[in-house]
Amino acid sequence: MSERAGREIAFDSGGDSVAAYLATPASGHGPGVLVIQEWWGLVDHIRDVCDRLARAGFTALAPDLYRGTSTSDPEEAGRLMMNLEIPRASRDLEAAVAELQNQSEVDGSRVGIIGFCMGGQLALSAATQNAKIGAVIDCYGIHPNVTLDLSGLDAAVFGVFAENDDFIPAEAVEKLRADLEGAGVRATIKTYLGVHHAFLNDTRPDVYDAETAEEVWNEVNAFLKAELA
């Protein structure tokens, strides 16, 4: 693995210390983007995503919503996701936005947020509660304990979904599209053909799709640059 672009930090959330990974671009500054973990926790893949965003010119912060726990076991990951205290996670994300904006390396008055699986749903939820989030990328987001009130969403949304997703049926994607449209949200919801849930995760050869992932990352970078300019 090449040398990382970032460093481990910690920030305060309601009196608790939350660990996080912060990656900065070679230029020394750029728009801020929060990166929200999958159900595995703050694993190296999420740090890799932060590094990728830093290479694209963004300052990226990934908070550890599990407070030090991570796993590679799907059953344990499912338990961790279901046991996550959503009010605490929301508080942590609110604090993470503030921490990101406090970084001298961050440009602009609003930040972006990107989440994967569990994190995709949490990213949308955070943006409904925080007007300082100006761009949301929901990558195949799902969490059964997170309910969205889209009336408070003032950010543009880019939704990334997979045609062959065992967790999110096509009907759920279409409902999200319709709900966002009904709430007057500027949203682009795309379903990528021939790929599976978590197809962006290059540490999972069972589902990773390199060609489609490259396409999506190009679109993600363009979306963030347009919305956070």
Could you give phi then psi for residue 48, rounded to 5 degrees?
Answer: -60, -40
pLDDT beyond 70 at 2: no
> For residue 229, what pLDDT is reported?
85
Count of residues making up the chain = 229
Tens digit of each residue's pLDDT (9 = 90 or more) over 70-104: 999 999 999 999 999 999 999 999 999 999 999 99
pLDDT tens figures, 149-187: 999 899 999 999 999 999 999 999 999 999 999 999 999
Which own/partner contact pairs does 153-156 have at CB distance under 8 Å and 24+ positions apart? 153/124, 153/127, 153/128, 153/180, 153/183, 153/185, 154/127, 155/110, 155/127, 155/185, 155/227, 156/185, 156/186, 156/187, 156/223, 156/227
Where does the pLDDT of residue 58 fall: very low under 50, low under 70, confident under 90, or very high at 90 and above? very high
116 near 103, Cβ under 8 Å?
no
CA dist 114 and 135 (Å) reads 8
Percent of the chain topping pLDDT 90: 97
Q: Has residue 48 got a pLDDT over 60?
A: yes
Separation CA 134–CA 122 (nearest Å): 15
What pTM was estimated for this model as a whole? Answer: 0.97
Contact 228, 60 (CB under 8 A): no
Q: Answer whether CATH 3.40.50.2000 is correct for domain 6-227.
A: no
From 45, 61, 53, select the one nearest 26 (Cα to Cα). Answer: 53
Sign (positive or negative) of CA dihedral 98, 99, 102, 105: negative
Q: Spell out the alpha helix ranges (H) of the chain.
A: 44-55, 74-83, 86-102, 118-129, 170-182, 210-227
Q: In the predicted model, what is the mean pLDDT of residues 1-19?
A: 88
pLDDT at 1 over 90: no
Query: How would you classify the pairing of strands 156-164 and 106-116?
Result: unpaired
